[in-house]
Chains A and B, each alone.
Chain A
Amino acid sequence: MGVAKYTKDEKGAIKEVIYQSGIKVKPVYGPEDLEKAGFTYEQDLGAPGDYPFTRSLHPQSYRSRAWTTRQYTGFGTPEETNKRFKLMIANGQNGLNVAFDLPTQMGYDSDHPLAEGEVGRVGMAIDSLKDFETAFAEIPLDRIGSGLTINGVATIMMAMYQATAEKFGYSKDQISTTPQNDILKEMIGRGAWIFPVEHGVRLVGDSIEYAVKELPKSNPVSICGYHIRESGATPAQEIAYAFEIAKAYIDTVTARGIKPEDFVGRFSFNFNVYGNLWEQIAKFRAARKLWAKMLKTEYGVTDKKKLFLRGLFGGGGSGLTKEQPENNIMRSAYYALGAALSGAQTTALCSFDEAYTIPTPRSALLSLRTLEILMDEVGLRDTVDPLAGSYFIETLTLEMEEKIIEEMEEVQKWGGMTKSISEGFIQRKVSRQAYEYEKGLQSGEYRKVGIVPTSESGNRPEQETQKTDVELHEYNQEWAEKSKVNLIELRRTRNDKDVSDSLKALEKAARGTDNVMPYLVTCCHAYATVGEMAGVFRDVFGEWNEPEFY
């Protein structure tokens, strides 16, 4: 049953429950459990809005404001994306979340051989400032903030965003951008890495430092436990690894003489809602508390607002099944319930057809409606942290906190996150777990509705009969052609000397210790392409060789 391990007796009664994070759940909880754990209200909970923020970041939570929802947009060409942006703003959205295609994410121009078949496929294709000018045309960049879902070349996109704003007459202190910019999680999970670990971390450091000094309204990094969880980490590991990644970034920036107090308030997180309901709720409550405690005690951060664990708790992609995709609609609703019960500030849901395709407008709308039903219809806004004081939830939150600390200590024993990833410790652990979980799912040890365990099916239906009627997102070959034509035109019309001068300066900065950000902004203004800028980094840094995973 579910993602937890259940042992039953002959009559089918549950004898034992063990959560993925390794916590054993008792049949009944009472006051003695809280007593045994040494629970006190002041130390472990505090009032909502008070340190350590277990209950909520804000005193009134959803009473004062429902959660913010985010939709991930960016399709094909910058022109199309611009239309979509304008529509979303007209519908009341106050933030954009930009998706890029794979060539852009990997630092290749649309005419690179590796880009073939991928231009504009999973997001918009960006080759140069020209494309950003088109995508953000007539968008009030002083009012609308933009999340940039990009990591390997996040520095380039941040610079390009600034250059675009400057082109449109805004100053860099007016704009607000949040690039994802979490390269270490790419190396554990999503795989959109380019450069070796230490150079990747240096670029993250450059962007944080630059944001601290030059972009007062921007949040330079969003750490994604999300993808780590998707790759096979337990909920406790999801939080632990994300926090250890955060520490790696904090350390690289403090080594430049900047105080944590000056920048940790700009970190945000992206966590996953998939899994056992109670375990998720405990995870988020424990995470808020631990983050605040860690910043206060280890990094001496004092400003209350800078202790907030900000971020998006949502998604849930791994929980969705390809079988009977309609079930995913219900599944997602319960995942969202978990996020709401733990006081998520910002959320977004995977669409039910995500296992097949990029969300269609219909399925994306359904996700949005699911979230609205929770807030506006069934009463999740009525009171703050409704589960507080539950013998079970509070015990579980404490146990989860302990598990997360255990997992963090293991990473420290390995020599910290950067080294653990270089050496492949994390990747090996996570992929082995993913494999064991998948085997458990197939054998029926874990239960997912709609998935028939191998053991129970003498003759399973043939693949062909499992056909579903999800509507597929179409890929348009013309996007690539259009991007290629634009590139030819760009190369013909831009000032070649400006391009080569700015790229040379960038190379010098990359080889030395100068912050690359201002050099990138100059390159962007000169209409250097993403491929050219990333190419400089490729030459100077080389590319990462991933370690073995088995």
Chain B
Amino acid sequence: MPEIVAILQGNQRAGARMIRLLEQGKLEALTLLKQLYPHSGNAFIIGITGSPGVGKSTLIDDLITVFRKQSKRVAVIAVDPSSPFSGGAILGDRLRMQRHATDKNVFIRSMASRGQTGGLSRATKDAAIVMDAMGYDIILIETVGAGQGEFDIATLAHSTGIVRIPGTGDGIQAVKAGILETGDVYIVNKCDRPDVDASVHALTMMIGMQNMGRQTSHPSPKWTPPVVKTNALKGTGVDELADTFLSHFDFLKKHNLTDQTKRNQETLYFKSLLKDLTLAKIHSFMETSPAYKSVLKRIQTHEMDPISAAEHVVNTMIILK
């Protein structure tokens, strides 16, 4: 069992083992997580999302460099898709960040999505809590990047950066996909490409329109998502990007929005845990309950139809507890 003290002291071996247990879904790991939870809440969590090939990993690699120059301790969670066929995965995002591997103040953890949609894996939030408790100042989370619809990151991060590249269907499509509702910072990467200014312009316009809509529903202080141009391969624009994220964090703190964010996130986390724990109960019930087994047998001998069987089992469980 990983030691709580070692984790709080920032020991990477202990923290990594803890994350592993959480990822494996070991219930005993939750007991430990409970002890870590009060020590979390200090890190600034930044989500980086966007389609495949837009350069998310390289941007994160650059951001690590910038934040390290500011003496901040940086953790990264990089999520890659699991193969729907084998359940396995190749986790190669850290390939681009490997020069930071030996920096004791950088902790990079790759995660497979394991069938979770929404761009994260089930244990991403848990891992972020562990890293937070380990004392990392900044936690960068790279989503799967399977394309559209990776909105989960907004429920986990303080600041979500959406990475796009010039000339790839900005504008209307992005609005349709709802992608412009989740971003706090928009990043136009590979800004050495010719049509970069058109992309920036289109995005800025869309954000403007979006914000007019926002104003009516949110009378609270308004953050206008900036558009930042970067060229991750050359490292240009990354200083500015880091500053933009930090100023967004300041903005949230200044207007007491971090608390509000935290409340929302805790509710969501609670709901997702509830689902997980209920499922775990069902699984253990399925493994141990004689009632479940007898029902299963009756389905196989056609004494009972599957629908009635499921209803029966659920009712039994609720009565049981």
Contact = CB atoms under 8 A, between A and B. Distances in A.
Contacts of B90: 548, 550
Interface string A468-486: 0000000000000000000
Contact of B95 (A196, A543, A548): A548
A88 to B, nearest CB: 41
12 contacts: A422-B233, A423-B53, A545-B61, A545-B95, A545-B96, A545-B99, A546-B95, A547-B95, A548-B90, A548-B93, A548-B95, A549-B92
Contacts of A550: 90, 92
Interface string B66-95: 000000000000000000000000101101
Interface in A182-199: 196
B143 interface: no
B99 to A, nearest CB: 8
Which are the 4 A-B pairs with shortest beta-carbon distances? A548-B92, A550-B90, A545-B96, A548-B95
A106 B95 CA distance: 19
Given A548-B92, A548-B95, 4 more contacts: A543-B99, A545-B98, A547-B95, A548-B90
B58 interface: yes
Main secondary structure, interface of B, reads helix
A547 B61 CA distance: 13
A550 B61 CA distance: 20
Contacts of A545: 58, 61, 95-96, 98-99
Interface of A: 196, 422-423, 543, 545-550
Nearest to A548: B92
A543 B95 CA distance: 13
A546 B233 CA distance: 11
Contacts of A196: 233
A423 B52 CA distance: 11
Nearest to A198: B233
Interface centre among A196, A545, A547 (most CB of B within 10 A): A545
B164 to A, nearest CB: 16
A423 B232 CA distance: 13
A65 B96 CA distance: 51
B321 to A, nearest CB: 45
Contacts of B58: 545
Nearest to A542: B235
Interface residues of B, number: 11
A24 to B, nearest CB: 29
A545 B57 CA distance: 10
A195 to B, nearest CB: 12
A344 B272 CA distance: 67
A471 to B, nearest CB: 37
Contacts of B95: 545-548
A543 B233 CA distance: 11
A545 B53 CA distance: 14
Nearest to A544: B233
Contacts of A547: 95-96
Interface centre among A546, A547, A549 (most CB of B within 10 A): A547
Contacts of A543: 99
Interface string B128-164: 0000000000000000000000000000000000000
Contacts of B96: 545, 547
A422 B190 CA distance: 12
A194 to B, nearest CB: 13
A420 B50 CA distance: 21
Interface in B42-65: 53, 58, 61
A423 B57 CA distance: 13
Contacts of A548: 90, 92-93, 95
Nearest to A425: B53
Interface in B239-286: none
A550 B58 CA distance: 17
Contacts of B233: 196, 422
B206 to A, nearest CB: 27
B190 to A, nearest CB: 10
A196 B99 CA distance: 14
A548 B58 CA distance: 11
Contacts of A549: 92
A546 to B, nearest CB: 6
A461 to B, nearest CB: 29
A545 to B, nearest CB: 5
B185 to A, nearest CB: 23
A546 B57 CA distance: 11
A545 B96 CA distance: 6
B255 to A, nearest CB: 38
Nearest to B98: A545
A155 B233 CA distance: 24
Nearest to B58: A545
Contacts of B93: 548
A424 to B, nearest CB: 9
Nearest to A423: B53
B59 to A, nearest CB: 12
Interface centre among B98, B99, B233 (most CB of A within 10 A): B233
Nearest to A549: B92
A546 B90 CA distance: 15
Interface in B89-138: 90, 92-93, 95-96, 98-99
A544 to B, nearest CB: 10
A548 B98 CA distance: 13
Contacts of B92: 548-550
Contacts of B61: 545
A346 to B, nearest CB: 37
Interface centre among A546, A548, A549, A550 (most CB of B within 10 A): A548
A548 B53 CA distance: 10
A336 to B, nearest CB: 38
A427 to B, nearest CB: 11
A423 B90 CA distance: 18
Nearest to A196: B233
Contacts of B98: 545
A422 B193 CA distance: 14
A423 B58 CA distance: 12
Contacts of A422: 233
Interface string B275-317: 0000000000000000000000000000000000000000000
B69 to A, nearest CB: 16
B88 to A, nearest CB: 11
A94 B82 CA distance: 56
A422 B99 CA distance: 18
A422 B58 CA distance: 12
A524 to B, nearest CB: 29
B94 to A, nearest CB: 11
Contacts of A423: 53
A550 B81 CA distance: 12
Nearest to A543: B99
A550 B90 CA distance: 8
A236 B75 CA distance: 45
Nearest to A545: B96
A545 B98 CA distance: 9
A547 B93 CA distance: 9
A549 B90 CA distance: 10
A432 to B, nearest CB: 12
A546 B58 CA distance: 10
A547 B95 CA distance: 8
A217 to B, nearest CB: 38
A158 B160 CA distance: 49
Contacts of B99: 543, 545
A550 B86 CA distance: 15
A151 B53 CA distance: 28
A550 to B, nearest CB: 5
